[in-house]
Amino acid sequence: MSTKMTMTQKIIAAHCGRDSVQADEIVLAQIDLVLGNDITAPVAINEFDKAGISAVFDKDKIALVLDHFTPNKDIKAAEQSKKVREFARRHDITHFYDVGQVGIEHALLPEKGLVSAGDLIIGADSHTCTYGGLGAFSTGVGSTDMAAAMASGKVWLRVPRAIRVELTGQFPSHVSGKDLILHLIGRIGVDGALYQSLEFTGPGVANLTVDDRLCVCNMAIEAGAKNGIFPVDEQALEYIRAHGAQPPRVYAADPDAEYERVIRIDLSELSPTVAFPHLPENTRSIDEVAKDLAIDQVVIGSCTNGRLSDLIAAAEILKNRRIHPRVRCLIFPATQKIYLDAIRLGLFDIFVNAGCAVSTPTCGPCLGGHMGILAEGERCVATTNRNFVGRMGHPGSEVYLAGPAVAAASAVLGRVGSPDELPAIEED
C-alpha cells in the first residue's frame, strides 16, 4: 500500500526512524547538520552554556560561519564573532569558517561538500532552505532550537503539507532561477506557501542548473514555505560527487502523494522579473517597469545570487561598458573559491574597468549590515532576497529585487532596465 508521502515527508520519516509520517504531525528528527552564523550562533551559545551543557553532540555535524557582519564592522560585531570563535575552539568544531576562509553560508556549505541529497539540515538562518536544491530537507530554526540541536543532534518539527510546482519548457535569454522564484512568489504571495513544502517537479527541472535550483529554494521562505526541494537527478548527483559530499540518499514522492495545490509554470513564458518595494511578492515583468525609475546603487551577490554563474551573467553585460555615473555598483562573490575563480576568468578586470567595487565574501548590505547602506530616498537594484522597509538601510530607501542580468543592465542604464535596452558594443 502506498504511503502517499511527498519527497520532504519521506526524508523526515527516515530521520525519525519510521516508515511514514503524516502532514501536521509533530516529530522528533535526527539531524545531519546544524548551522549558525555570527548573528544567530551567539544567542544559541548563550543558551547552550546557560543550560550547563558540556559537550556538543558531534563536532563534525555543526557548521559555524562568520559571514554577516564580517570583516567586523564595529565593536558589537567583533564581540559576536569572538564568542563564536571561542566556542568553536572550545568544542573543536570541524566546520568553522572565519575571515579569509569564510563564504556566505548558504553558498559555502554546498561548495564544501557539507550538503547531500536526503540530508536533514537545520540552521539558525531563514535561508537555510537553500539546500533543497540538492534534494535535502533544510529549514531555518530559532537560536534556541539551534542550541538544543548542538547538544542533542535532534530537532522537533511539524511535518509540512506540500505544494507541487510543475515546470515545463526552458528559460529564454537573460532569465534564470531568480526570475522563476520571483514569478512564483508574485503569483502566490509572501504567505502563499505558509509552513508548506514547495516541491518542484516536471520536465522543466532538467533545464535548471544546480545554481538555479539553489537560488529558487533559497527564496522559498519568501513565500512563507517551510522548505523548497528539487528531485535528485544526474545534475544534482554530479554536483554532490564533484564536491565530495556524503553518499546521497535519494527519495522521491509517491505517485499518489497528497498536495494542497498544483501550480504549473512554463519556463519559456517567463521574462526578467523585478520585485518592487517593499515585498518580494510585488513583482512586475521588466516590460512593465517605467523607463524613468532612476537608481543610486546596484548590489550583485548574496546567498541568492553570488555564485560564479551569477557573476559571469553580470560580467557578460558589463564587459566593455561603464557603470552609470550616478550609480554605485557593488559585487560580492559568495565564497573565497568563487572569488578566486572569478579572478582567473578575468571577471574582476571587467568589473573594475566598468567602475564596480568588488568585495570580500560577506552578507554585507543584503541585511543592511555594512558595505553598502542606503541613505534616505535612495534606490537599489539587488540580487538579494528581501526588500522589506529599511532592509538595506534607511527606512525611506527602496530595494528592487532582480536577477544578475537585470541588475548589471540597470547599473549601466542608471535606472531599472533590461539587458535588451543596452546599445550594442563591439567585442574586443
The pLDDT tens digits along the chain (428 residues) read 357 999 999 999 999 999 999 999 999 999 999 999 999 999 999 999 999 999 999 999 999 999 999 999 999 999 999 999 999 999 999 999 999 999 999 999 999 999 999 999 999 999 999 999 999 999 999 999 999 999 999 999 999 999 999 999 999 999 999 999 999 999 999 999 999 999 999 999 999 999 999 999 999 999 999 999 999 999 999 999 999 999 999 999 999 999 999 999 999 999 999 999 999 999 999 999 889 999 999 999 999 999 999 999 999 999 999 999 999 999 999 999 999 999 999 999 999 999 999 999 999 998 898 999 999 999 999 999 999 989 999 999 999 999 999 999 999 999 999 998 888 886 55
Identify whether residues 154 and 127 lie together within a single domain: yes
Among 230, 245, 266, residue at a domain's last position: 266
280: its cell numbers: 518580494
pLDDT at 414: 96
The number of distinct structural domains making up the chain is 2
pLDDT at 1: 39
- Please check whether residue 427 lies inside any domain of the structure: no
Name the residue range of residue 340's domain: 275-421
Identify whether residues 383 and 257 lie together within a single domain: no
d(Cα 105, Cα 355) in Å, to the nearest integer? Answer: 28
Identify whether residues 168 and 257 lie together within a single domain: yes
Identify whether residues 227 and 286 lie together within a single domain: no
Identify whether residues 395 and 349 lie together within a single domain: yes
pLDDT at 352: 97
pLDDT at 426: 65
pLDDT at 427: 59
d(Cα 87, Cα 59) in Å, to the nearest integer? Answer: 11
Identify whether residues 160 and 230 lie together within a single domain: yes
The answer to whether residues 118 and 135 touch, using CB atoms and an 8 Å cutoff, is yes
d(Cα 200, Cα 225) in Å, to the nearest integer? Answer: 13
Q: What is the pTM of this model?
A: 0.93
d(Cα 237, Cα 255) in Å, to the nearest integer? Answer: 22
d(Cα 259, Cα 276) in Å, to the nearest integer? Answer: 30
CATH number at residue 47: 3.30.499.10
d(Cα 140, Cα 258) in Å, to the nearest integer? Answer: 24
Alpha helices (runs of H) in 319-365, residue ranges in sequence order: 336-344, 347-354
Identify whether residues 104 and 159 lie together within a single domain: yes
Among 246, 266, 286, residue at a domain's last position: 266
The answer to whether residues 96 and 109 touch, using CB atoms and an 8 Å cutoff, is no
d(Cα 36, Cα 84) in Å, to the nearest integer? Answer: 9
Which residue, chain included where needed, has cell 572569488?
339
Residue 139 Cα distances to 28, 119, 229, 330, angstroms? 15, 11, 11, 29
CA 307, 311, 316, 321: dihedral to nearest 10 degrees?
170
d(Cα 213, Cα 48) in Å, to the nearest integer? Answer: 34
Identify whether residues 19 and 148 lie together within a single domain: yes
Among 231, 266, 301, residue at a domain's last position: 266
Identify whether residues 364 and 417 lie together within a single domain: yes
d(Cα 336, Cα 276) in Å, to the nearest integer? Answer: 31
The answer to whether residues 6 and 197 touch, using CB atoms and an 8 Å cutoff, is yes
Which residue, chain included where needed, has cell 530537532?
155
Identify whether residues 305 and 350 lie together within a single domain: yes
Which residue, chain included where needed, has cell 529564454?
172
